[in-house]
Amino acid sequence: MFQGTGSDVGKSLIVAGLARAFTNRGLRVRPFKPQNMSNNAAVTVDGGEIGRAQELQARAARAPPSVHMNPVLLKPQSETGAQIVVQGRVYATAKAAAYQELKPQLLKAVLDSFGHLQAEADLVLVEGAGSASEINLRANDIANMGFARAANVPVILIGDIDRGGVIASLVGTKAVIDPADAVLVAGFLVNKFRGDPVLFASGMEEIARATGWDALGLVPFFAEARLLPAEDALALDHARVTKSAARIRIVVPILPHIANFDDLDPLEAEPAVQLIRLRPGTALPGNADLVILPGSKATVADLATLRGAGFDIDIAAHVRRGGRVLGLCGGYQMLGRRVADPDGIEGPPGVVPGLGLLDAETTLAPHKRLEPVSGETHDGAPFAGYEMHMGITTGPDCARPFAKLTDGTPEGAMSADGRVFGTYIHGLFSDDRQRAAWLALLGAGPAAIAYEPLIDDALDRLAAHLAGHIDLDRLLSLAR
């Protein structure tokens, strides 16, 4: 089990790289994360949802994604706390304090899913969540040491040297955790190192001396991680490179409850696209070619934030200038005339006005649609993607569907002038055919990359990178 001294230390990436490395050795590998908190989710082959990072890790292991790879998924909402997904299906909604009471009940499902993976694999690589040193949450823990103790799994602790203080974070973890938990730690890794490793050799020795844990590797920073889908919304704040070859500007307002933001990754990978992420407090550029409103786990709350930031005024001006707007899932719901929440799914029951850029309205409903889908968009371009949403959208603009599914079902909506589009389909831009159609529409020329091979190549290079700095045989000797 790979735990971290904090969030965003590289746990997900290391598990993905090791999954590919051990799979390339001929082992049947499965990734597992007992509890995940993320609004970046993926649809599984067994009809549920898991964290996007576990889907990437399954891909690295060349295994179909399963609900058992992430049995507890917490999806933060607004006033109602977090939606709790257990083995792929919505189980409950709870605020933080109430969730702590629920965790002992969920351990059974976690261990059940772990057993499923053990039965089909030679090696299960387990990823912890957040920080192993959150001793205030240890009593009912199912994500870190609580799971490790229950399943008798050895732990590798990961520290991030890029953020500073890695010696203190690793030694401090040993100092604060329960001694019975510390016994499970078999060693540590230091991740994201930059520079001459000789300069940190004494640092590795000091950590080993102070903790009694084995130093298992100093892993250099892997720049190509930017090509792989990120799980944590912290990645949205990382600095972006200005592209000299960019011919079009795609602008994305980043709102507090953004979901499935990996929809944007294939666009960012295109040399011709400058993808501009805007936080509230920044004006939308007047020369944008396309505005994308991404998915949201709390449409009503994010719509209020969007208005409070003045983005609604900027987007309306963009449309008046002839610009295009695409709403994905929650972003689609925001584009309509109103959003109704009669059952209080996202907060107090009520109705709020939408942006009015589509003649349609949405009613939030408790049933969640989780389906892989394929078909053609209104321009005849094929696509394959997935739906993951709660709500039904209807209205005159739905008579001009954005897409038609393979079974003939109309999907989404389009404005009368053909410049505003709404759809519940995620993963559109991962399909090279669909991305090429959008780039052509915006005047950027043909797509320059094949996205799926790009991801697989990056995983292979990540596996080689880790194999060059971690003793894989030593890791296997520690597994039990």
The dihedrals phi and psi of 84, each to the nearest 5 degrees, come to: -105, 120
Active-site hit among 329, 389, 398, 465? 329
Q: Specify the 3-state DSSP secondary structure of 358.
A: coil
Q: Among this protein's residues, is 398 annotated catalytic?
A: no
Give the position of tokens 């203190």: 168
DSSP state, residue 456:
H
Q: How confident is the model at residue 78 (pLDDT cuts 50, 70, 90)?
A: low
Active-site hit among 68, 257, 389, 426? 426
Q: Are 86 and 38 in contact (CB under 8 A)?
A: no
Strand partners, 374: 384
pTM of the entire structure?
0.91
Q: Quick one: fold of 248-444?
A: Rossmann fold (3.40.50)
Give Cβ neighbours of residue 284 (< 8 Å, ≥ 6 apart): 251, 253, 278, 291, 311, 314, 315, 317, 318
As given in the structure block, the two tokens for residue 409 are 């079902």
Q: Among this protein's residues, is 329 annotated catalytic?
A: yes
Q: What CA–CA distance (Å, rounded) separates 179 from 267? A: 47
Give Cβ neighbours of residue 358 (< 8 Å, ≥ 6 apart): 327, 332, 335, 336, 337, 395, 397, 413, 414, 415, 420, 422
Average pLDDT taken over every residue of the chain: 94
Q: Are 438 and 429 in contact (CB under 8 A)?
A: yes
CA angle 237, 242, 244 (to 5 degrees): 165
Among residues 428, 323, 327, the alpha carbon closest in space to that of 376 is found at: 428
For 408-459, the pLDDT digits (tens) are: 999 999 999 999 999 999 999 999 999 999 999 999 988 899 999 999 999 9
For 254-312, the pLDDT digits (tens) are: 999 999 999 999 999 999 999 999 999 999 999 999 999 999 999 999 999 999 999 99
Q: Are 419 and 315 in contact (CB under 8 A)?
A: no
Which pLDDT score is estimated for 79? Answer: 57
Architecture of the domain defined by 2-227+456-478 = 3-Layer(aba) Sandwich (3.40)
Q: What CA–CA distance (Å, rounded) separates 447 from 429? A: 11
As given in the structure block, the two tokens for residue 452 are 């799926």
Domain ranges of the chain: 2-227+456-478, 248-444
Does residue 80 register a pLDDT over 70? no
Q: Are 414 and 397 in contact (CB under 8 A)?
A: yes
DSSP state, residue 309:
T
Which pLDDT score is estimated for 233? Answer: 56
Question: What is the residue type of 428?
Answer: L
